[in-house]
Structure 1
């Protein structure tokens, strides 16, 4: 029994470490994300962007144009894929790799212009495997907010 559990755990770990470094699946729609996220995910988004998600962490706000925020994010995450939506929103996605276990987590970002020199940023970070992330996705979003602040200030 214990050997079977260890074998399954080893197989999951190997799958997570060997999985492709591209975001899993197609682009997400922030408007249709639903409430009740599993414990291995974190969403920072306001109801104006994530209409169906209910109460989540607050979206990030920046006193910078959306294009500048997107450029700063690409400097921080050079492998990020980017697209511009017909309404002017900019969506990016990338894979974050945990330092020790090398798990791959998917991160989607939506940058919405709220004025000529302001923007709002929604972030959805989620683990590919596991039932709990032990707070890693929330801390990743908080760290990203600080990194973007520093990048935009400099």
Structure 2
């Protein structure tokens, strides 16, 4: 009897949770559970990585220590490089939204979501002039929830910079 009551209670709670997600929405549900999706700007100077394997770092040579992969420098200005990748990200990822205020044209920050569960991730981009006159780029993508992202943030950055 107790076992049946417990199972019934768990079933009711599961249905209530599902209804909550359906009514509130997946993105809003995660915001209620884990806080604002915009994690704020990433400090590339300090370069603190996530202690878990749910982030990815990519940089032009010499701009950060131990990137997951490197990004070739560009001939354009830092502002043009950021605009180029802002447009590419927003056109290829329909769930991405720019969340910074746009006051620094050499930086951009986005929140995007996984397609099914809408887990939020933050992507930071920063560009700067290199000593040789070209523009170097730094990119950091990090998950808000969980300890593993199964390489999704790295895949996202690799796709963004593919063919660049």
Q: TM-score, normalised by structure 2?
A: 0.65
1:23 partnered with 2:23 = no
What are the ranges of 5 or more consecutive residues in structure 2 without an aligned counterpart? 1-5, 91-96
Matches within 5 A, 1:68-87: 68-77=80-89, 79-80=97-98, 81=100, 82-84=102-104
| Matching residue of 2:160 | 144
Alpha-carbon shift at residue 48 of structure 1 (Å): 3.9
Asked if the contact 2:122/2:143 (under 8 Å) is kept, the reply is yes
Match of 1:95 among 111, 115, 118: 111
Deviations 1:31-55 (A, max 9, x none): 10235742111111367433xxx42
Secondary structure (helix, strand or coil) at the match of 2:69 reads coil
Q: How many residue pairs are counted as aligned between the two chains?
A: 136
Instruction: Say which one has the larger Rg.
Output: 2
State the distance in 2 between where 1:118 and 1:100 align.
39
Quote the residue 1:55 is aligned against. 66
SS of 2:87's equivalent in the other structure is helix
Segments of 5+ residues of structure 1 without an aligned counterpart are 150-154
Supply the RMSD in Å over aligned alpha carbons. 3.5
Greater CA deviation, 66-75 or 30-39? 30-39
Q: Which has the higher strand share?
A: 1
Structural mapping, 1:100-115, within 5 Å: 100-114=116-130
